[in-house]
């Protein structure tokens, strides 16, 4: 994935309108780009070619369904640990060795390691977190999601 | 909603995105040996049940100039946490906003909001904006910047045959 900014003129106002509008949803119709384009005053062809271009330059990473892995039966939990600086690399190795650790970030805080556990079941979360506590001798704080407030992200039009 | 093997194949086929073609559902159907109608119906059911949260474009924050991001965390009165979470989640510079349990005494914060900005200074300005919004109901806040990615893997779907 591109990690550097595009030049400021890389996106025109149409590109920006598309990025904003298509975060809201997309029709389940045989010709969805025609319907979505109509709302943006774009032809089907034009919307598709803009999206292809946005994907090619890396302004968007993908276009399609966002699956809720929890609704599919998986379990997830954000976890945090306060890892002593001198043990940090060793603890990274122990934590990352678990396949259930989906991602892991070092953060600027006393709780300096934040990772997400992804398991098939809620029991799995407790089992892996307990195991990491045993292996590291450190407490794994658990922050399961109680409620999500999603709206999205907007680029200046 | 109970997913069957066909739903799982449909998920596996589309988790990388839809084809950017005039009839994307017909194209997906042809990959899977289904009809366009069946693909549309199944996707609709998954949307209704929440298995699909939405069908949308995923912007690349870095490419769009949002090089800085911080995980802001807030200790919000329980009685107002849902109402205020919805307001924070609606801010255009917040990409993710969650209510989570506190872990006292180490961690008093129950509202997590990921703030994006071009620079860290801009992120801090936006943090103050949230602070003003939450003021009457918030006791303290902090922000955690990521200093290193230690591991990053995508969502892995269980193989339907497994």
| ipTM greater than cut 0.90 | no
Q: For the residues B15-23, what does the mean pLDDT come to?
A: 94
Q: Which residue has the higher pLDDT, B92 or B115?
A: B115
pLDDT of residue B53: 87
Q: Is B114 within 8 Å of chain A by CB?
A: no
Q: Write the burial class of residue A86 (CB in 10 Å: 0-12 exposed, 13-18 middle, 19+ buried).
A: exposed
Please check the confidence at residue A154 and state whether its pLDDT lies above 70. Answer: no
Query: Closest-CA residue in chain A for B37?
Result: A30
- Contacts of B9 by beta carbon, 8 Å cutoff, 6+ apart: B32, B160
Q: How many residues are there in chain A? A: 157
Could you tell me the end-to-end alpha-carbon distance of chain B, in angstroms, rounded to an integer?
20
Write the DSSP string, chain B.
----HHHHHHHHHHTT---SSSSHHHHHHHHHT--HHHHHHHHHHHHHHTSEEEEEEEE-TTTTT--EEEEEEEEE-GGGHHHHHHHHHTSTTEEEEEE---BTTTB---EEEEEEESSHHHHHHHHHHHHHHHGGGEEEEEEEEEEEEEEE----PPPTT-
Cα A153 to chain centroid distance, Å, stands at: 12
Partner residue opposite B100 with nearest CB, options A22, A78, A92: A78
Q: Is residue A105 within 8 Å of B146, Cβ to Cβ?
A: yes
pLDDT of residue B118: 87
Q: How many CB pairs under 8 A join A and B?
A: 243
Which residues in chain B are contacts of A64 at CB distance < 8 A? Answer: 14-18, 55
- Structural domain boundaries in chain B: 7-49, 68-145
Which of B57, B109, B141 is the best mutation test for A, with the most CBs of A within 10 A? B57
Q: Which residue has the higher pLDDT, A8 or B144?
A: B144
Q: Is B71 within 8 Å of chain A by CB?
A: yes
Please check the confidence at residue B156 and state whether its pLDDT lies above 70. Answer: no
Partner residue opposite B85 with nearest CB, options A82, A106, A147: A147
What are the angstrom distances between the C-alpha of B77 and each of A154, B104, B116, B136? 28, 14, 25, 9
pLDDT of residue A2: 77
In angstroms, rounded to a whole number, what is the distance separating the alpha carbons of residues B152 and B11?
A: 21
pLDDT tens for A92-123 read 999 999 999 988 999 999 999 999 999 888 89
Which residues in chain A are contacts of B86 at CB distance < 8 A? Answer: 149
CB contact under 8 Å between A104 and B149, yes or no, is: yes
Q: Which residue has the higher pLDDT, B61 or B83?
A: B83
pLDDT tens for B40-78 read 999 999 999 989 988 999 888 888 888 888 999 999 999
Partner residue opposite A25 with nearest CB, options B56, B66, B71: B56
Q: Which residue has the higher pLDDT, B93 or B80?
A: B80
- Architecture of the structural domain at B68-145: 2-Layer Sandwich (3.30)
pLDDT of residue A58: 92
Q: Is B125 within 8 Å of chain A by CB?
A: no
Confidence grade of residue B149 (pLDDT, cut at 50, 70, 90): confident
Confidence grade of residue B158 (pLDDT, cut at 50, 70, 90): very low
pLDDT tens for B118-141 read 899 999 999 999 999 999 999 999
Q: Is residue B124 within 8 Å of B116, Cβ to Cβ?
A: no
Query: Count of alpha carbons within 13 Å of B36, Cβ hemisphere only?
Result: 11
Q: Write the burial class of residue B138 (CB in 10 Å: 0-12 exposed, 13-18 middle, 19+ buried).
A: buried
Confidence grade of residue B16 (pLDDT, cut at 50, 70, 90): confident
CB contact under 8 Å between B97 and A148, yes or no, is: yes
3-class state of residue A88 by DSSP: helix
CB contact under 8 Å between A6 and B64, yes or no, is: yes
pLDDT of residue B15: 86
pLDDT of residue B43: 97
pLDDT tens for A124-142 read 999 999 999 999 999 999 9
pLDDT tens for A42-83 read 999 999 999 999 999 999 988 999 888 777 778 899 999 999
Average pLDDT value over all residues in chain B: 90
Please check the confidence at residue A157 and state whether its pLDDT lies above 70. Answer: no
Q: Is the Cα dihedral B5, B8, B12, B13 positive or negative?
A: positive
- Give the CATH fold of the A75-143 domain: Alpha-Beta Plaits (3.30.70)
CB contact under 8 Å between B59 and A19, yes or no, is: yes
pLDDT of residue B160: 35
Write the DSSP string, B118-156.
SSHHHHHHHHHHHHHHHGGGEEEEEEEEEEEEEEE----
- Structural domain boundaries in chain A: 13-56, 75-143
């Amino acid at each position: 994935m591109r990690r550097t900014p595009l030049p400021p003129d890389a996106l025109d106002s149409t590109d920006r309108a598309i990025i904003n509008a298509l975060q809201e949803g997309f029709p389940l119709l045989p010709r969805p780009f025609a319907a979505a384009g109509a709302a943006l005053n774009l032809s089907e062809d034009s919307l598709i070619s803009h999206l292809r271009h946005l994907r090619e330059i890396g302004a968007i990473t993908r276009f399609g369904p966002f699956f809720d892995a929890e609704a599919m039966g998986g379990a997830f939990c954000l976890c945090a640990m306060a890892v002593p600086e001198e043990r940090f690399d060793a603890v990274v190795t122990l934590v990352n060795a678990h396949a259930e650790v989906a991602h892991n970030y070092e953060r600027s805080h006393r709780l300096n390691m934040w990772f997400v556990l992804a398991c098939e079941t809620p029991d799995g979360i407790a089992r892996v977190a307990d195991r990491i506590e045993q292996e590291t001798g450190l407490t794994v704080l658990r922050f399961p999601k109680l409620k999500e407030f999603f709206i999205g992200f907007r680029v200046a039009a | 909603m109970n997913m069957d093997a066909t739903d799982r194949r449909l998920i596996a086929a589309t988790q990388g995105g839809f084809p950017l073609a005039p009839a994307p559902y017909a194209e997906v159907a042809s990959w899977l040996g289904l009809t366009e109608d069946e693909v549309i119906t199944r996707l609709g059911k998954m949307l209704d049940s929440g298995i699909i949260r939405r069908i949308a474009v995923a912007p690349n924050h870095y490419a769009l100039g949002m090089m800085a991001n911080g995980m802001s965390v807030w200790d919000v009165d329980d009685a107002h946490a849902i109402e205020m979470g919805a307001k924070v989640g609606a801010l255009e510079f917040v990409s993710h906003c969650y209510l989570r349990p506190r872990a006292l005494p180490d961690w008093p914060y129950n509202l997590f909001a990921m703030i994006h900005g071009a620079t860290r200074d801009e992120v801090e300005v936006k943090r103050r904006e949230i602070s003003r919004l939450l003021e009457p109901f918030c006791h303290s806040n902090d922000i955690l910047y990521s200093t290193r990615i230690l591991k990053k893997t995508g969502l892995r779907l269980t193989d339907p045959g497994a």
